[in-house]
Amino acid sequence: DAGVTQSPTHLIKTRGQQVTLRCSPKSGHDTVSWYQQALGQGPQFIFQYYEEEERQRGNFPDRFSGHQFPNYSSELNVNALLLGDSALYLCASSLGLGRYEQYFGPGTRLTVT
Amino acid sequence: AQRVTQPEKLLSVFKGAPVELKCNYSYSGSPELFWYVQYSRQRLQLLLRHISRESIKGFTADLNKGETSFHLKKPFAQEEDSAMYYCALSEGYNTDKLIFGTGTRLQVFP
Domain residue limits, chain B: 3-109
**Window A:32-91, CB contacts with B under 8 Å:** 33, 35, 40-45, 48, 55-56, 58, 90
Check whether A90 has a pLDDT greater than 90.
Answer: yes
Residues in chain B predicted with pLDDT less than 50, given as ranges, are none
Q: Is A42 within 8 Å of B89 (Cβ atoms)?
A: no
Give the pLDDT of residue B16: 97
Q: Cβ of B95 and A48 within 8 Å?
A: yes
**Mean pLDDT over residues A43-57, rounded?**
94
Chain B hits for A93, Cβ within 8 Å: none
Give the pLDDT of residue A99: 67
CA distances, A90 to each of A6, A106, A109, B29, B55 (Å): 8, 7, 9, 27, 27
E strand spans, B1-110 = 3-5, 10-14, 19-21, 24-26, 32-38, 45-49, 60-61, 72-74, 83-90, 98-100, 104-109
What's the CA gap between B23 and B72, in Å, rounded?
8
Q: Is B21 within 8 Å of B81 (Cβ atoms)?
A: no
Q: Cβ of A45 and B97 within 8 Å?
A: yes
Q: What are residue B79's phi and psi, to 5 degrees?
A: -60, -35
**Mean pLDDT over residues A38-61, rounded?**
94
Alpha-carbon gap: B86 to the closest alpha carbon of chain A (Å): 7
Q: Where are the domains of chain A?
A: 5-112
Q: Which of A46-50, A96-100, B71-75, B78-82 has the lowest mean pLDDT?
A: A96-100
Question: What is the CATH code for B3-109?
Answer: 2.60.40.10
Report how far Cα A26 is from the mean position of its chain's Cα atoms: 14
Q: Cβ of A43 and B100 within 8 Å?
A: yes
Give the pLDDT of residue A86: 98
Superfamily of domain A5-112: Immunoglobulins (2.60.40.10)
